[in-house]
Amino acid sequence: MSPETAPLDAEQLAAYFALMEVSTLLQHAVDEHLRADGDLSNVQFQILMRLSGAPEGRLRMTDLADGVVYSRSGLTYQAGLLEQRGLITRSPAPDDERSVIVAVTGAGRDLIARVLPGHIRVVRRLLFDSLQATDVEVLGAVLGRVRDHMRAAPPRSARPRTRRAKP
Amino acid sequence: MSPETAPLDAEQLAAYFALMEVSTLLQHAVDEHLRADGDLSNVQFQILMRLSGAPEGRLRMTDLADGVVYSRSGLTYQAGLLEQRGLITRSPAPDDERSVIVAVTGAGRDLIARVLPGHIRVVRRLLFDSLQATDVEVLGAVLGRVRDHMRAAPPRSARPRTRRAKP
DNA sequence: TATTGTTATACTCTATAACTATA
DNA sequence: TATAGTTATAGAGTATAACAATA
């Protein structure tokens, strides 16, 4: 058995399981709140948040897709929903006619403002109520390192260029 | 602004974002591997793993559902898929005719054995390669505390009784 | 040719409610 | 009545591939 595939030791397993369980439960609770309080999916919330934080509240579709991980078509779908509700607008980019600029509207910002307090309440109750300041620091530092490492890693083992065609 | 909804401080935000980002990327990578290597969804993998760890490889549907969070019907769906592939069996419980006992088959254990090394490789590469032993310990301890706190918390603010009907 | 984005489509998953049966 | 599980069904979300337009 190569060291790469040797079983994880007890500490590692505990950390792995705890991480997955905590994030799953937290995600679930957050999703539920966003849906109930603002009729938003998590992705939609993330899109609005990213736009809110961007200069002038605007980003290209591609930049959004890079951040939100999902496929282009998935982003188009979600953006379509947000646009229908008047929470964002889409318009062609002036400098590159292929690109589309997405912008938050006032209504979008209002919705975020309305939803954010409850969102924070959920996160605080589930994640931070059981942690001391030093725990939070350590958690952020360790997970920050992991994240940086993940992002630096090659973007997944080179996705298959094309799906093998069925002739 | 009540202290409950006061914005999260910088340390908290960093920890929260890092947690969600790390878990999302890890989950994504794991899902991809499980699908490619064993044609398993994450839920299916979890079901098989739980059964593998249970005495005699058997559990009731309800016990499985409690662990895997999802709704009863969702579990029935996933169990149906696993049963079709011969990875589990379902049979009525002898002591309580209402219950169904789910059991891993040999094929199920074989599949787990085949998939696990790659699973470990993914987790190790993404999560543990950037961490020292002490980091792992701390991470497990802190997140373990959070998990225990989450589980102790009241089961979400009383679910809405019925969906408002559209007449 | 490569990039940006949309559309069409098919599929997976999840949840709700209604239902059966057993306790 | 309450519990265990299934089924029917409907909806949300995602991905793939084909497509159009621009660089």
Instruction: Tell me the pLDDT tens digit for each residue of A72-126.
Output: 999 999 999 999 999 999 999 999 999 999 999 999 999 999 999 999 999 999 9
Q: What burial letters (b/e) apply to A25-54, b meaning 16+ CB within 10 Å? A: bbbebbeebbeebbebeebbbbbbbbbeeb
The pLDDT value given to residue B155: 47
| Cα distance between residue A5 and residue B26, in whole Å | 17
Share of chain A above pLDDT 90, in %: 78
The pLDDT-based confidence of B167 (bands split at 50, 70, 90) is: very low
Mark which residues 84-143 of A lie under 8 Å from B by CB.
117-118, 120-121, 123-131, 133, 135-140, 142-143
User: What is the chain B residue with the closest CA to A126?
Assistant: B150
Q: A141 vs A63, A92, A129, B18, B146, CA distance in Å?
A: 26, 40, 19, 9, 17
| Confidence tier at B154 by pLDDT (50, 70, 90) | low
Q: Is the predicted pLDDT of residue A67 greater than 70, yes or no?
A: yes
- Domain-wise residue ranges, chain A: 25-142
Of A34 and A3, more confident: A34
Q: Is residue A151's pLDDT more than 90?
A: no
Supply the mean pLDDT for chain A: 89
pLDDT at B158 over 50: no
pLDDT in tens, A13-33: 999 999 999 999 899 899 999
Higher pLDDT: B60 or A153? It is: B60
- B53 or B154, which is more confident: B53
> What fold characterizes domain A25-142?
Arc Repressor Mutant, subunit A (1.10.10)
Whether the beta carbon of A75 falls within 7 A of nucleic chain C: the reply is yes
Strand C atom within 7 Å of A86 CB: no
Architecture of the B23-130 domain: Orthogonal Bundle (1.10)
Does A42 lie at the interface with B, CB-CB under 8 angstroms?
no
8 Å CB contact of B15 and A130: no
pLDDT tens-digit map of B84-142: 999 999 999 999 999 999 999 999 999 999 999 999 999 999 999 999 999 999 999 99
Could you tell me which residues come within 8 angstroms of residue A24 by beta carbon, excluding any fewer than 6 positions away? B23, B69
| Test the B interface: residue of A1, A16, A52 with most B CBs within 10 Å | A16
Which residue is the nearest neighbor of D15, CA to C1'? A71
- Preferred mutation among B2, B17, B20 to probe A, highest tally of A CBs within 10 A: B20
Using DSSP, state whether B34 is helix, strand or coil: helix
Residue B39: CB less than 7 A from any atom in strand D:
no
Question: By three-state DSSP, how is residue B97 classified?
Answer: coil
